[in-house]
C-alpha cells in the first residue's frame, strides 16, 4: 500500500528538516512503483548519505584543528575574528566567545600592527610569513607569537583569512638559556685564562725572586768570607791585596745586579720616564765600540762597524736607554766569542723604510736551538759552566728587551748556530709611535 501523495511529501519534509539538524542516518522508503516521487526520495536519500559522509570529515577536521598546538584564527575581511581553535583559547586564556566577533587588532599589542596592512600584503603576495607580534592574554600578558597568514578562500576578493600563530615563549626560553649557557661558558673560559695568567705571573715572580736571592748570595758570600779572612790575616800585603780585590769585584757585581734589578722593576712598574731627543744611533754605536774595544782586544776580537747607505743620521729616541741596550748586546757578543769578529751593522729594514735595524753579529759559541726560547727570561744563562766562566747574572737580555719595547722597538735573536756564532737584531721606529713587532725567534 503506497501512502498518499500528501503523506509522502510530509515524509520528504521531515527528512529534510532532520538533515538540516544534522541527522542523516534515516532514509525515505522507496515504493516498488518507482514513480516520480520515488525519484525525489531517492535523490534526498543520496543527499543524506553524502551529507553523513561530509559530517564525518568535518568532525575529524575539527578534531585535527583543535589538536594543533599553534593558534588558528580565522578572520573576516574586515578584521573580525570568525573562528578560533582550542589552542587559541588555551594560549590566550580567553573563552571562544571572548574571541569570536572581536576585532583582531584589539588582541594584538604591537603598536605597529595593522590588520589593513596585513591584508594588503596578502592581496599582493597571497601569504605572509614569520610576522613577529604579541597577542594580549586575558591576564594582560603580551605573548610573543610568530604568525603566518593566508587567504582561506580561493577567490580574488578575500572572504576570510586564516592566521597560524606560534607561541614563541618556549623558543625564547630555550634561546635565552642557550645564550646564558654561552655567556657562562665564556666567563668560565676567561676566568680560566685569568687564573692561568695569575698562576704564570706568580710562578714567574717566584722564579725571579729565587734568581735574585741566588745572585745576591754568591757575591755576598765572597765579600763576607774575604772580610773574615782579612781580619785574621797577618801582614802579608800581597794576600791582603788579593782578598781586597775579591771584595771589590764582588761588590761591583752586586752593584751591577742591583742596578739591573732596579731597572727591571722600574720598567715593570711603568716608572721609567724616557728622555727622548734626536739621537745619532751611529755615534752611540761608535761610543759603545770605543768603550769595549780594549776589552775585545784582550781576546783578539776584531770589532767592526758598518753603517749602510740610507741609514738616517738621527732618530727620535732616548740616548741613555739606547746605549744601555747596545752595550749589553755588544758586550754579550764579545763575552761569548772566544776569537774572531764582532760586527755591528746599521741599516734600514728592506721591507719597511720606517724601521731601523741595528744588528750585532759574532763568530762566537752560538746558542743551541733548544735553549733559544729562554734567552730573554731573567736569570737565564745557557749553562752554569759558561756563567761561571763568563760571569754575569743573566739579566742583560731580559732588561734590554724591556728597554727596546719601551723605545717602541724590539730586540730579538736573528740567527744562531752552535760554534759558528749568533746575531741579535734591535729594531727601532724611525718616527714616533711603536713598531709592529715581528714574530720574534725567541
Ligand X SMILES: Nc1ncnc2c1ncn2[C@@H]1O[C@H](COP(=O)(O)OP(=O)(O)OP(=O)(O)O)[C@@H](O)[C@H]1O
- Binding residues for ligand X, rule: CB under 6 A, are 328, 332-333, 336, 362, 364-365, 367, 375, 380-382, 386-387, 392-398, 422
Mask: binding to Mg ion, 287-326, rule CB under 5 A, as x and -? Answer: ----------------------------------------
143 binds, among ligand X, Mg ion, none (CB under 5 to 8 A by kind): none
Q: By C-beta, is 47 or 441 nearer to ligand X? A: 441
Are 279 and 322 contacting, i.e. CB atoms less than 8 angstroms apart? yes
Among 364, 396, 408, 421, binds Mg ion (CB under 5 A): 396
Q: Nearest approach, Cβ of 435 to ligand X (angstroms)? A: 22
HEC readout, 30-60: CCCCCCHHHHHHHHHHHHHHHHHHHHHHHHH
> Applying CB under 5 A, what is the total number of residues that bind Mg ion?
2
b/e code 45-70 from CB counts within 10 Å (16+ = b): beebeebeeeeeeeeeeeeeeeeeeb
Q: Nearest approach, Cβ of 181 to ligand X (angstroms)? A: 47
Q: Nearest approach, Cβ of 313 to ligand X (angstroms)? A: 28
Q: Which residue has the cell 520528504?
A: 12
Q: From its phi and psi, is residue 419 left (phi > 0), alpha (psi between -120 and 50) or beta?
A: left
Q: Nearest approach, Cβ of 394 to ligand X (angstroms)? A: 4
Q: By C-beta, is 151 or 336 nearer to Mg ion? A: 336
Taking CB under 5 A as the binding criterion, the range among 222-230, 258-266, 391-399, 409-417 that sits at the site for Mg ion is: 391-399
**From start to end of 50-126, where are the E strands?**
71-76, 81-84
Q: By C-beta, is 260 or 318 nearer to Mg ion? A: 260
Q: Residue 266 phi/psi, 5° resolution?
A: -65, -40
HEC readout, 368-426: CHHHHHHCCCCCCCCCHHHHHHHCCCCCHHHHHHHHHHHCCCEEEEEEEECCCEEEEEE
Q: By C-beta, is 84 or 288 nearer to ligand X? A: 288
Q: By C-beta, is 338 or 353 nearer to Mg ion? A: 338
Q: By C-beta, is 280 or 341 nearer to ligand X? A: 341
Half-sphere exposure of 361 (CA within 13 A, CB side): 13
Among 317, 332, 427, 442, binds Mg ion (CB under 5 A): 332
**By Cβ distance, which residue is nearest to ligand X?**
396
282 binds, among ligand X, Mg ion, none (CB under 5 to 8 A by kind): none
Q: Rule CB under 5 A: which residues touch Mg ion?
A: 332, 396
Amino acid at each position: 500500500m503506497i501512502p498518499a501523495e500528501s503523506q509522502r511529501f510530509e515524509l520528504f519534509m521531515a527528512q529534510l528538516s532532520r538533515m538540516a539538524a544534522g541527522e542523516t542516518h534515516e532514509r525515505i522508503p522507496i515504493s516498488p512503483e518507482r514513480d516520480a516521487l520515488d525519484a525525489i526520495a531517492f535523490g534526498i536519500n543520496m543527499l543524506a548519505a553524502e551529507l553523513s559522509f561530509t559530517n564525518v570529515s568535518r568532525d575529524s577536521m575539527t578534531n585535527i584543528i583543535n589538536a594543533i598546538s599553534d593558534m588558528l584564527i580565522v578572520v573576516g575581511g574586515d578584521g573580525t575574528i570568525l573562528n578560533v581553535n582550542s589552542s587559541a583559547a588555551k594560549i590566550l586564556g580567553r573563552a571562544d566567545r571572548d574571541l569570536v566577533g572581536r576585532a583582531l587588532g584589539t588582541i594584538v599589542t604591537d603598536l605597529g600592527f595593522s590588520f589593513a596592512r596585513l591584508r594588503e600584503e596578502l592581496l599582493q603576495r597571497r601569504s605572509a610569513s614569520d610576522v613577529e607580534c604579541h597577542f594580549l592574554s586575558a591576564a594582560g600578558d603580551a605573548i610573543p607569537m610568530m604568525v603566518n597568514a593566508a587567504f582561506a578562500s580561493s577567490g580574488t576578493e578575500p572572504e576570510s583569512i586564516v592566521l597560524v600563530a606560534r607561541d614563541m615563549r618556549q623558543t625564547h626560553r630555550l634561546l635565552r638559556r642557550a645564550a646564558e649557557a654561552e655567556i657562562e661558558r665564556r666567563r668560565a673560559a676567561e676566568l680560566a685564562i685569568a687564573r692561568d695568567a695569575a698562576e704564570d705571573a706568580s710562578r714567574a715572580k717566584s722564579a725571579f725572586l729565587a734568581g735574585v736571592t741566588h745572585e745576591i748570595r754568591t757575591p755576598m758570600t765572597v765579600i763576607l768570607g774575604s772580610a773574615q779572612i782579612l781580619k785574621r790575616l797577618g801582614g802579608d800585603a800581597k794576600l791582603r791585596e788579593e782578598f781586597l780585590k775579591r771584595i771589590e769585584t764582588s761588590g761591583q757585581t752586586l752593584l751591577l745586579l742591583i742596578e739591573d734589578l732596579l731597572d727591571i722593576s722600574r720598567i715593570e712598574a711603568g716608572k721609567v720616564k724616557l728622555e727622548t731627543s734626536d739621537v745619532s744611533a751611529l755615534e752611540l754605536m761608535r761610543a759603545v765600540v770605543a768603550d769595549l774595544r780594549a776589552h775585545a782586544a784582550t781576546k783578539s776580537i776584531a770589532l767592526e762597524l758598518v753603517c749602510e747607505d740610507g741609514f738616517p743620521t738621527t732618530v727620535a729616541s732616548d740616548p741613555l736607554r739606547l746605549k744601555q741596550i747596545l752595550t749589553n748586546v755588544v758586550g754579550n757578543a764579545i763575552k761569548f766569542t772566544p776569537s774572531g769578529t764582532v760586527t755591528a751593522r746599521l741599516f734600514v729594514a728592506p721591507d719597511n723604510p720606517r724601521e731601523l735595524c741595528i744588528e750585532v753579529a759574532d763568530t762566537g759559541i752560538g746558542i743551541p736551538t733548544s735553549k733559544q726560547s729562554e734567552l730573554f727570561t731573567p736569570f737565564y744563562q745557557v749553562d752554569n759552566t759558561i756563567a761561571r766562566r763568563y760571569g754575569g747574572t743573566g739579566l742583560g737580555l731580559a732588561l734590554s728587551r724591556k728597554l727596546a719595547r719601551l723605545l717602541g722597538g724590539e730586540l730579538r735573536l736573528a740567527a744562531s748556530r752552535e760554534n759558528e756564532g749568533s746575531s741579535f737584531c734591535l729594531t727601532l721606529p724611525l718616527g714616533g709611535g711603536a713598531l709592529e713587532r715581528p714574530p720574534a725567534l725567541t
